Structure 1
Amino acid sequence: MTEDQILEKTNRINLLFDFYEPMLTDKQQTVLKLYFHDDYSLGEIAEQFKISRQAVYEHVKRAEVTLEDYESKLALLSKHERRLKLLGEAEEKLKDSPEDLAGCASDYLRRIVHME
């Protein structure tokens, strides 16, 4: 995995964690916070919990799978990203043609509100 791919994966897990943190177990929350937010190594987490590095790795992987499973079912991150994209497009449209403000704003608001 390249450094860019690792960073992209870390960012995705952090975003998924922001949306689905309450749905994880306390241990999953703690391990993911330490690993992804606080940048602890597997060894440092293992030492803190008095478990093996392999056990920490398995906790991280299971939590990642759980987050991706929630996203596949609920799509909160995907919807959020689409809303942000639509808002960006609306801002650009408004800069280009302010005379069409009412129609353009109405169209984008409708698309954002009715997004599934």
Structure 2
Amino acid sequence: MMDFEKVNGLIPFYENLLTERQREIIKFYYYEDLSLAEIAENLDISRNAVYDTIRKTAQILDRYEEQLHLKRDYETRETAYNRLLDHVDDEGRKILQELINREEEI
């Protein structure tokens, strides 16, 4: 399976592109730290079905990032905003902070 932290970082950017079932399983595994057996029991499916869904969904998330770059671009903008904060006056900081807050809402 893909790196845990990598997948965990991609979920917020692409979760709405997943099916409801994929989203449910991936959140149980990555956010709630449930085992494959616990997820299987909760959803009344096989442990193997849970494993396959997690593996395939992680690949899907990785493919989305390779094509859309939402996470990478967000991190690039965030770095630029933070660098700018050191070089602007109070009014500029206020405007940059509004931009940062708006990014986080999306």
Q: TM-score range by the shorter chain?
A: 0.7 to 0.9
Q: If the length of structure 1 is used for normalisation, what is the TM-score?
A: 0.68
Question: Residue 77 of structure 1: SS of its match in structure 2?
Answer: helix
> Which residue matches 1:87?
81
Deviation at 1:14, TM superposition (A): 2.5
In structure 1, how many angstroms separate the alpha carbons of the residues matched to 2:44 and 2:75?
A: 38
In structure 2, how many angstroms separate the alpha carbons of the residues matched to 1:83 and 1:71?
A: 16
> Which residue matches 2:63?
69
Q: Report sequence identity in percent.
A: 34
User: Which ranges in structure 1 are unaligned for 5 or more consecutive residues?
Assistant: 1-5, 95-100, 110-116
Residue of 12, 23, 46 corresponding to 2:6: 12
How many residues end up aligned between the 2 structures? 90
Superposition map of 1:1-116 within 5 A: 9-92=3-86, 94=87, 101=88
Q: Considering Cα pairs closer than 8 Å and 6+ residues apart, tell me whether 1 or 2 has the greater RCO.
A: 2
Deviation at 1:68, TM superposition (A): 0.6
In structure 2, how many angstroms separate the alpha carbons of the residues matched to 1:55 and 1:34?
A: 14
Deviation at 1:86, TM superposition (A): 1.0
User: Which ranges in structure 2 are unaligned for 5 or more consecutive residues?
Assistant: 97-106
More helix by share: 1
CA deviation map 1:77-115 (0-9, x unaligned): 0000101111122223x1xxxxxx48xx7xxx9xxxxxx
In structure 2, how many angstroms separate the alpha carbons of the residues matched to 1:11 and 1:82?
A: 18
CA deviation map 1:57-91 (0-9, x unaligned): 11001000001111111100000010111112222
> Which residue matches 2:104?
none
